[in-house]
Structure 1
Amino acid sequence: MDISAKPGNQQLVTLHERRGADGRELVATFYEPGTVADVAQTILAFGGEAVVAIDAPSAPRLDLLTKGKPLRDVLQLPEGRYETMRVCDTVLFRRRLPLYPVPASGAALTQAQGWMQQGFDLFAALEPLQRFTPDAATAQGQYEGPIHDGALRLGRVAETYPDAVFCALLGHRPPPKRTPHGLQQRIMILKESRVVDDAGGLWQRTVDELDATAAAYAAYTLATGQGGWVGDPREGVIVVPVPRLQDRYVRPPQPARARLVSASPPRPSST
């Protein structure tokens, strides 16, 4: 599920398993954009078995990392940094997976954060499915960990982050998503993850639809116990499609380019 600042542009993609010629496939269904209410009604109409991952914060931050808070020492945070971030955002940011800043509880959304209200509203509308929150026995004092079988008893609606989904699956940061190479890598890894689009092919899809597909894949890994989570359960966690993230995600080096022969005469040296 990809969230948009435009109220009528929320993007829903679903995945369901199908046995294909080469084994299991994940068949994608792309829905026309709609409002939060339309999307929520569609999801709830699937019944209580739906599993959802939303590309938006699930709640405001609780300021667990402000100056002097004991969690800063647990996470070994340098002084003066990450004080206005959620724990889940900090865990990802330190791996070079930056996210949008989330307002504190009770604070008004800025104009740039206005799209987050759509996400807050969707999480509220899907409350019957319960938000995924690792319990104390699952977290065991940790702020990231694998998702195990049976995790759905802890909730079926989760926050995710498509950029982190693509990076985790690729093992590196791809080029920007609006570049040809960036699109190519994102589509390639979705196909390698067995996602199929019978209604035109992934190359026919918009960037928002591809992000929503990545979110749906994160939901699939939650449902099947193959993914992982990061964050503080009190504040909200982000679901990723791998049990454990790498220490950092960087872009591969640029391809080599030969140097041209300079047509300009060398400048005279001054004395």
Structure 2
Amino acid sequence: MRYCGIDVSAKPGNQQLVTLHERRGPDGPELVATFYVPGTVADVAQTVRSFGREAVVAIDAPSGPRLDLLAAGAPLRATLGLPEGRYETMRVCDAILYRRRLPLYPVPAADQALTRWQGWMQHGFDLFAQLDELDLFRPDAALTANTTTYEGPVGDGALRLGRVAETYPDAVFCALLGHRPPAKRTPHGLQQRIAALRLKGVVDDDGGLWQRTLDELDATAAAYAAYTLASGHGGWVGDPREGVIVLPVPYLEERYVKPPAPRRATLLSASPRPPSST
């Protein structure tokens, strides 16, 4: 099996593909990462298609436009307990994550044109379209019939429902760590993300994950989400009519917040004391 993660970029030739494959290591099973040179949507799609039905794919981009299922007055708002006036222009999956402090970029409605800064989403739409033969993962009636929360485990045999899914690397890392890590461009934030991948058995035989770019690490997180879809260990959030996001845990925590800052002792003051009044 090839577990493929794709980090989508606004630059046409900068789409990043990373794949994972299983290997027996000295300390147990490993997920060996292969990093590809960035390329166009067509190049990445062609490479994934070359794996045939061995490919399972998770893409860091919306799988489709918003269907306004949470517009003012929509019945689904009451089901999800959404406060009036909020989340009206979000997809269901985005609102569920946003309430857990996992914010995403807003996705335009089906009848809206993409703005200039949303242009990267079109590359994502194109990727999903070019990988259509692998089928988009959508939970079936057996997984959604008894839920009022629009989230749950992918379960065993999830690949019968589709081998391509949307994911969100920031939420992948938060789910693996159990909290919001520091920003990924900081040394501590980078360290925590790499540690999360390594603890899940991800290995990079070509010098280690520390040599990889942020885009490559995000694509690796997406590939790990694809692995949990195939293995049945992952979960999904959203409304299948509009698209769901696959994450590497069966259920999310209620909130993902940053841990408190480490404690620091107070220095003794070296400032001279003001003269006493007489």
CA distance in 1, matches of 2:195, 2:26: 19
Which of 173, 177, 196 lines up with 1:189 in the alignment?
196
Matched, 1:159 2:162: no
TM-score for both structures, normalised by structure 1: 0.96
Aligned length: 268
> Alpha-carbon deviation of 1:259?
3.2
Which of 10, 14, 18 lines up with 1:9 in the alignment?
14
> Alpha-carbon deviation of 1:263?
6.0
Counterparts of 1:232-271 in structure 2 under 5 Å?
Answer: 232-261=239-268
CA distance in 2, matches of 1:247, 1:22: 33
> Alpha-carbon deviation of 1:150?
0.8
Specify every segment of 5 or more residues in structure 2 that has no aligned partner in the other structure, as ranges. 1-5
What residue number does 2:176 align with? Answer: 169
Specify every segment of 5 or more residues in structure 1 that has no aligned partner in the other structure, as ranges. none
**One-letter amino acid of the counterpart of residue 105, structure 1:** A
Q: Secondary structure at the match of 2:118?
A: coil
Which of 23, 26, 37 lines up with 2:28 in the alignment?
23
Q: Secondary structure at the match of 1:12?
A: strand
What residue number does 1:220 align with? Answer: 227
CA 266–63 in structure 1, closer or farther in 2 if over 3 Å, else same: farther
> Alpha-carbon deviation of 1:29?
0.2
CA distance in 2, matches of 1:230, 1:19: 32
CA distance in 2, matches of 1:172, 1:196: 23
Matched, 1:61 2:66: yes
Matched, 1:149 2:156: yes
Matched, 1:123 2:128: yes
Counterparts of 1:71-110 in structure 2 under 5 Å?
Answer: 71-110=76-115
What residue number does 1:51 align with? Answer: 56
**One-letter amino acid of the counterpart of residue 210, structure 1:** L
Q: Percent identity?
A: 78
Which of 44, 47, 72 lines up with 1:42 in the alignment?
47
Q: Secondary structure at the match of 1:91?
A: helix
What residue number does 2:212 align with? Answer: 205
> Alpha-carbon deviation of 1:220?
0.1
> Alpha-carbon deviation of 1:78?
0.3
Q: Secondary structure at the match of 1:89?
A: helix
Q: Secondary structure at the match of 2:219?
A: helix
CA distance in 1, matches of 2:122, 2:198: 32
**One-letter amino acid of the counterpart of residue 41, structure 2:** V
CA distance in 1, matches of 2:10, 2:271: 50
Deviations 1:192-226 (A, max 9, x none): 00000001210000000000000000000001100
**One-letter amino acid of the counterpart of residue 111, structure 1:** R
TM-score for both structures, normalised by structure 2: 0.94
Deviations 1:163-189 (A, max 9, x none): 010000000000000000000000001
> Alpha-carbon deviation of 1:260?
4.0
Deviations 1:8-62 (A, max 9, x none): 0000000000001111000000000000000000000001220000000000000
> Alpha-carbon deviation of 1:261?
4.7
